[in-house]
Structure 1
Amino acid sequence: MIVVTGAGGGIGRQLVLNLLGRGARVAAVDISKEALEGTVQAAGSHSSKLSIHTLNLTEREAVEALPEQVIERHGQVDGILNNAGIIHPFIHVNDLDYDKIKQVMDINFYGTLYMVKTFLPHLLARPAAHICNVSSMGGFLPVPGQTIYGASKAAVKLLTEGLQAELKDTNVKVTVVFPGGVSTNIMKNSGIDNMDNTEASQEQLAQLLTPEQAAEIIVSGMENDKVRIYAGKDSRIMDKIYRLSPAKATNLIADKMKDLV
């Protein structure tokens, strides 16, 4: 039984559907009830194994009430998949207001932290359990115009790696995910309307993973207890370049982002 956050669309919805297709029971969590109902519809005949929970991850007390709801419905919880996240407008830190900075950190980092802290005691009580946190390629490689988003995802990366060390002798496996380019509605869902996606070429769009492909990579990696999962060739390649030459990788991305920031 797996709890999935950000389950109302994009990768999150496909994670839910993938898990259900493999026979798992799933608790789908999202801030939008309407989006969750769409996930239920997409689940079709598998919806009997699915529960939905409308929740704002930035509200710690609401998150702390979630395990009781999940266990009441499913009887147990064997894993959490922290996928929920938002980006911010493609602008420099100097021009980004503190309210947006706080919102990004609250959802991306603190939302993940609240889920981990809340569910970990329950996971430790299971014979086998899993924590999977979705970071980002931007969590190890700086992207101009998304610096605060990157900082939040870097925090998720280090949190997850710290958990891997702390839990290595327990029953709880820990995985960090680094998605590259995935074709989702994250910009719309993040409240960003200042960029025109219509200029993206078909060639560029074709290079993006679909949410279905990303979900398959992530769930398969979890099943195989991978410590790191790179969802997309771009993420894997940029990780290698960044390890070899951080300056070269940083300049490469900065040059590509000139027209966006």
Structure 2
Amino acid sequence: MKVQNKIVVVTGGGSGLGRELVLALLSSGASVAAMDINAAGLEETVALAGMNRGNLATYALNITDRAAVEALPEQVIARFGAVDGIINNAGVIQPFVRLKDLDYAAIDRVMNVNLFGTLYMTKAFLPHLLARPEAHITNISSMGGFLPVPGQTIYGASKAAVKLLTEGLSSELLGTNVRVTVVLPGAMGTNIAVNSGVMDTLEVKGGEAPVKMLAPDKAARIIIDGIENNRFRVLVGADARLMDAVYRLNPQRAARFIYDQMKALLPQ
């Protein structure tokens, strides 16, 4: 689906990848409904939109609130007249701890935001997308959704669920006007750790990140290109592409490699 002159909904639009998706869509001629739990972040996105801000509407809400999400399509349609696409980008990570040390509050939060937030958004907007001449659903999973990352086991489980949810939805929608894309990013230079409230668990010896980060504006362009070409699956970043290939050949070796890269983040 070409995004020019389309109306696209983006979750997590107040920072990071979500913000870059909003700005890239606007610069490509789309109108955007951006939502985020952080109202101040949304205001910053509006300021950055510059001359394109007239095509941007913002909604401060928590995507784990099903009633609020179910009320959203009518609000967006009242503003723009229709909805042509959604990008389920909002997500959180867990503290970098082993499963035995992870409390249930953190587990519930990760699953509610990453999986159920995506599910609520998809269910709420799908009837409206099916009524359009063409439409698109994009769900952001993660490299951690196909490759185990120690200290992010529940996050990975939530993103693996998003991956299969998206792939199943794609199969269900064959023969309709709605196309579906699952996105599998590797490491990106976003503030997801701060937004997830787990920055204090990310102390790395020497202050160096274990992997090279992809700039979120570059990731956004890769994702939008995938949407415009109706790709079933989009791997974002050299690390995601490499590990996808390695994992297909030897899952255990790939898992060990990631452990060796990430073990400095795990409490001893």
Band of TM-score, shorter chain: over 0.9
Distance 2:255 2:204 in 1: 24
1:170 aligns with 2:145: no
SS of the equivalent of 1:58 reads coil
SS of the equivalent of 2:83 reads coil
1:114 maps to 120
SS of the equivalent of 1:238 reads helix
Displacement after TM superposition at 1:199 (Å):
3.6
Distance 2:46 2:135 in 1: 25
Displacement after TM superposition at 1:258 (Å):
1.6
Q: Is the 8 A contact 2:20 2:220 kept in 1?
A: yes
1:248 maps to 253
1:51-90 aligned at under 5 Å gives the runs 51-90=57-96
Letter in structure 2 aligned against 1:162 = G
Distance 1:90 1:46 in 2: 38
Distance 2:158 2:180 in 1: 19
Which of these residues, 115, 133, 136, is aligned with residue 127 of structure 1? 133
Which of these residues, 98, 103, 110, is aligned with residue 97 of structure 1? 103
Over the matched positions of the two proteins, sequence identity in percent amounts to: 59
Letter in structure 2 aligned against 1:214 = A
Distance 2:262 2:135 in 1: 40
Distance 2:90 2:23 in 1: 16
**Which ranges in structure 2 are unaligned for 5 or more consecutive residues?**
1-6
Displacement after TM superposition at 1:200 (Å):
4.3
Distance 2:262 2:220 in 1: 27
2:12 maps to 6
2:233 maps to 228
SS of the equivalent of 1:143 reads coil
| CA RMSD, 1 decimal | 1.2
Letter in structure 1 aligned against 2:86 = I
2:30 maps to 24
SS of the equivalent of 1:7 reads coil
Letter in structure 2 aligned against 1:55 = L
Which of these residues, 141, 159, 178, is aligned with residue 165 of structure 2? 159
Q: Give the TM-score normalised by structure 1.
A: 0.97
Displacement after TM superposition at 1:148 (Å):
0.2
1:180 aligns with 2:191: no
Distance 1:19 1:3 in 2: 10
1:216 aligns with 2:197: no
SS of the equivalent of 1:241 reads helix
**Which ranges in structure 1 are unaligned for 5 or more consecutive residues?**
none
1:137 aligns with 2:130: no
Distance 1:198 1:212 in 2: 28
Letter in structure 2 aligned against 1:243 = R
2:4 maps to none
Which of these residues, 249, 259, 263, is aligned with residue 258 of structure 1? 263
Tell me the alpha carbon deviations over residues 179-229 of structure 1, each in whole angstroms, 9 at most, x when there is no partner: 101100000000013223694448x67x32101000000011100101111
Q: Is the 8 A contact 2:17 2:220 kept in 1?
A: yes
SS of the equivalent of 1:80 reads strand
SS of the equivalent of 2:92 reads coil
SS of the equivalent of 2:58 reads strand
SS of the equivalent of 2:265 reads coil
